[in-house]
Amino acid sequence: MNKRRVVVTGIGAVSPLGNDAETTWTNILAGKSGIGPMTRLNRDEYPAKVAAEVKDFNIEEYVEKKDARKMDRFTHYAIAASMMAVKDAKLEITEEIAPRVGVWIGSGIGGMETFENQYETFLNRGYKRVSPFFVPMMIPDMAAGQVSILLGARGVNSCTVTACATGTNSIGDAFKVIQRGDADVMVTGGSEAPITKMSVAGFCANTALSTNPDPKTASRPFDLNRDGFVIGEGAGIIVLEDLDHAEKRGANIYAEIVGYGSTGDAYHITAPAPGGEGGARAMKMAMGDAGLEPEDIQYINAHGTSTPYNDKYETMAVKEVFGDHAYKLAISSTKSMTGHLLGAAGGVEAIFTIQAIRDGIMPPTINVETPDPECDLDYIANEARKADIKAAMSNSLGFGGHNATIVFKKYE
């Protein structure tokens, strides 16, 4: 079977570093942190004091207020990022092409804020006062559902929920939909709004979050003094397109997506498998799918959460996959600046990987001050670096043992 070639023609993001993809990227390259004191919650009630919050975002720029009130915040972010990505792609979804345009947007935990608010209403005022929109606001597939309605996209419509691997799995699965001929265009990525009482309580209870009160240094992937991730929010959405379809309409092509790997650890509900074994298989699978050798990859956007186990095991996995070349390629964790956007992480990090290829510059990992002897690769410490990038990969690893890797190439 002839695999169709799939390219990226549009990008859109809402992040702690900006409410569009280019502002976010400018701040990433400058090594700016989007992390600040937690303001959505009373931080005195939690050991974690900082978060990577979206700032000055107005959903009414995208949908009417009365409609926005029937949606959770994670859906707001997805809609904004999707509309920006489709506009960036200069894609007009006509009646003719609508059945061949799909949406695949995931969320790790969906409408947690809605759930908490409505449960309080139920406890205080009874079931009759619970919103009739409660269920459709809360369920994680509603970002994909609402985006498809607003765009008029009538093709494949799906949602992946694989914890922190969600965004990358969504993009990989959407890539395969086009590659096998089931759609010509896919609007895909991840969205999350997890800075809520119960989410933060849960992550604090399992000691996953950093308790460093200094917003600037709390997220420090691969640094010896890392102590957990910083919770973040936002959305990252890209437009994937069949190459022939993109060329026919004269679309601008950012990069080509060429490989996808997805594996399970079958090991533990939260801890990664020793040595990053599952992540290593996902990377190998993605490169095999792309028809690339280890030395063809110049840059990896790492999962790099700033937790003790993740960074160590991901480093081990890279060494296992790349051998000697592991010491020649460059790696960064942009979570040092965005925090961890959970189900949206893979979406925004795919965009950073695409922008790195486009601009010939690799984003830094900030806050690498005290090298961890077990994390001894080139993490592009503290300053962005120019490089001609022919091929790059983005990794995501999630609770439940989900591992996902996607590979992008310079379009030729």
Q: Known catalytic residues?
A: 164
Sequential DSSP letters for 255-290: EEEEEEEEEE--S-SSSPPGGGHHHHHHHHHHHHHH
- Order of strands, edge to edge, in the sheet holding 330-332? 157-158, 101-106, 185-192, 234-242, 6-14, 255-264, 402-409, 391-398, 299-301, 330-332
SS (H, E, C) 291-311: CCCHHHCCEEECCCCCCHHHH
Q: Which tokens is 80 given?
A: 């904004």
What φ, ψ does residue 35 adopt, rounded to 5°? -90, 140
Q: Which tokens is 318 given?
A: 């890279």
The answer to whether the CB of 218 falls within 8 A of the CB of 35 is: yes
Q: Where are the beta strands (DSSP E) in 138-246?
A: 157-158, 185-192, 234-242
CA–CA dist 222, 317 (Å, integer)? 14
- Helix ranges, 6-141 (H): 21-29, 65-68, 73-88, 112-125, 134-138
**171, 321, 347: which is closest to 259 by C-alpha?**
171
Q: Which helix (H) or strand (E) holds 128?
A: none
Helices and strands per DSSP (H, E), number in the chain: 13, 14
CA–CA dist 115, 130 (Å, integer)? 10
CA–CA dist 282, 204 (Å, integer)? 29
